[in-house]
Structure 1
């Protein structure tokens, strides 16, 4: 069996599993109470966004000494993504019910804001370094 056939069989199995699981997921009844979840969704989304910002910042900082616009564009992207993550984290922290440790996402939101500030500093350093070499 070639690799092409193996990959297509694996993809067909995954899609078949999704098709078979969809009707079962549609049968799940919604709980009668008013709560729509634990409230951690916003803080998890903020953490994912700021971690992407950290990755972009590190990558831009590594390439900031080289010529070209790639480092500058990466640094700007890191700053924008970090700011977006900080805003999402602040909104999630402001709307979280209960205190830190109650399971409503306030701790994750605070962590997202702190990691977002780290991403912002990394992006700013890369932006300053790319301006210096340009």
Structure 2
């Protein structure tokens, strides 16, 4: 190998092993789980009648869905902005995109539930 090809290989990011758990993967996983929780809580807040008890009742569930959705989007954006490689390099970029999408869905559904809960009061 020539010196030029060795230098080129040294600046390429190495793909992480399957069992490695980097900070990027941790942030993306946390954001994805928060986004999933936001979607579940928002769906419960939209579909449950106003007279039932529980966290998804009224504005409490909708507010929790919006808050966790926004947090999931912030974590996803942070991981996506700081990832050192493309998809499949083990830096959590794929999980960051999932966290962004789930956070957006949870925020939108939570906002809909929040609007509906304020209208029914």
Q: TM bucket by the smaller chain?
A: 0.7 to 0.9
SS in 2 for 1:101: coil
Aligned length: 99
What are the residue-to-residue correspondences of 1:1-134 with 2, within 5 Å?
37-38=21-22, 39-63=24-48, 65-67=49-51, 70-134=57-121
Distance 1:74 1:37, change over 3 A: closer
Distance 1:132 1:68, change over 3 A: farther
TM-score by length of 1: 0.66
RMSD between aligned alpha carbons?
Answer: 2.1
Q: Which has the higher contact order (CA 8 A, sep 6+)?
A: 2
SS in 2 for 1:40: helix
The answer for unaligned runs of 5 or more in structure 1 is 1-34
User: Considering only CA atoms, is the larger Rg found in Structure 1 or Structure 2?
Assistant: 1
How far the C-alpha of 1:56 sits from its partner, in A, is 1.0
For the 8 Å contact 1:50–1:112, the answer to whether it is kept is: yes
Which structure shows the bigger proportion of residues in helix conformation? 1
Distance 2:69 2:21 in 1: 26
SS in 1 for 2:84: coil
TM-score by length of 2: 0.73
- For residue 23 of structure 1, what is the aligned residue in structure 2? none
